[in-house]
Homo-oligomer: A and B are copies of this chain.
Amino acid sequence: MSRIETLVNGVLDGDRRALARLITRIENRAPDAPAALAALFPHTGRAYIVGITGAPGTGKSTVVNALARTLRAQDRTVGIVAVDPTSPFSGGAVLGDRIRMTDLAGDRGVFIRSMANRGSLGGLAAATGDVVRALDAAGFDVVLIETVGAGQSEVDIARTAYTTIVVDAPGLGDDVQAIKAGILEIADILVVNKADRPGAENTVRALRATLELGHRLRSAGHHGPLLDQDDAPPEPALDLWDVPILKTVATERSGLDELAGAIERHRAYLSESGLYEERARQRVQAELATRLREELLARLLDERSPAAVAGVIERILARQLDPGSAVRELLNGT
């Protein structure tokens, strides 16, 4: 048996060390990772993928951990992928795993992996997709993807997950409100965590008002199912799905059964409405677009001489050539 076969069989047999090794190989873009992923691919598609995101300060990591424990109590196995922002002071991701591990320690039905954003967003999105697929092939019933941060990463999560949870909390500043408006669109379920704090009801009301406003403003669907170049965010499922607003106190594991229940209801809704397949299709489209972009650029740069590329850059710096024309020149190979 080849080394890759051993690794693949290990993952399929539920060997945690094989899984950890494969994920490291995915992260490091090891040359044998694509073959392993190709061999595992027919065994994927069974895990239910949930994205969890929200503004800083909302306690979403605690929500993720509490949700994992609730799912475990329902006898479901859980993989967690935590996507951290670029950290120059490396070790952050490892430290994060250790802190989490003490909470869910010794439970072999849980597998946690933190991924640091190593530069390229496209690269990270591709790697996260592959890691989720590895956890899926390894047989985890549910995969939770958590992103720290706000902005584009949330939109990318929405592509990877079937159900997207946006976590909020009372008492965050105005600036956070602005960010929330940007990510509410992708929420299938809204959670107001720290609901024992003053102002929790106000936060619920504000979210409800914003949802209603968004519903009114939003015109008919305009993102087609084609593989588009604009990376249009997935069509929000607001129309028929009534986005629930749940309250949790994750530190006390309060409200988590309701959250797990809402995920189940959303899953059933996706199935019955046909949106499940639609979302799967959108995920595939987005992933292909990201991978093609990276691969096409790599190939182009292989074809062009470094001297030609350097020459173009110098002419731009000398204001002799504008970037738009430079791109056309590099593409045409002149």
Contacts and interface: CB of A to CB of B under 8 A. Distances in A.
A297 B292 contact: yes
A143 B120 CA distance: 26
B151 A175 contact: no
Contacts of A312: 288
B327 A176 contact: no
Contact of A56 (B176, B291, B294): B176
Nearest to A62: B175
Given A61-B175, A88-B218, A176-B56, A313 B288 contact: yes
Contacts of A294: 229, 293
A255 interface: no
A323 to B, nearest CB: 5
Contact of A301 (B34, B229, B313, B326): B229
A85 B233 CA distance: 12
A332 B173 CA distance: 51
A319 B119 contact: no
Given A153-B152, A298-B229, A323 B291 contact: yes
A296 B296 contact: yes
A38 B285 CA distance: 33
Given A37-B324, A181-B87, A217-B89, A300 B292 contact: yes
A289 interface: yes
Contact of A151 (B150, B236, B301, B327): B150
Contacts of A176: 56-57
Nearest to A55: B56
Interface stretch (A2-10, A103-111, A242-250, A276-284): A276-284
Interface of A: 34, 37-38, 41-42, 44-45, 55-61, 84-92, 117-123, 129, 148-153, 155, 172-173, 175-176, 178-179, 181-185, 210, 213-214, 217-218, 226-227, 229-233, 236, 277, 280-281, 284-285, 287-289, 291-301, 306, 309, 312-313, 316-317, 319, 321-327, 330-331
20 contacts: A56-B179, A57-B172, A59-B175, A85-B150, A85-B151, A86-B155, A86-B183, A88-B185, A89-B184, A91-B217, A122-B231, A148-B179, A149-B151, A227-B301, A280-B317, A288-B312, A289-B297, A291-B324, A295-B331, A296-B297
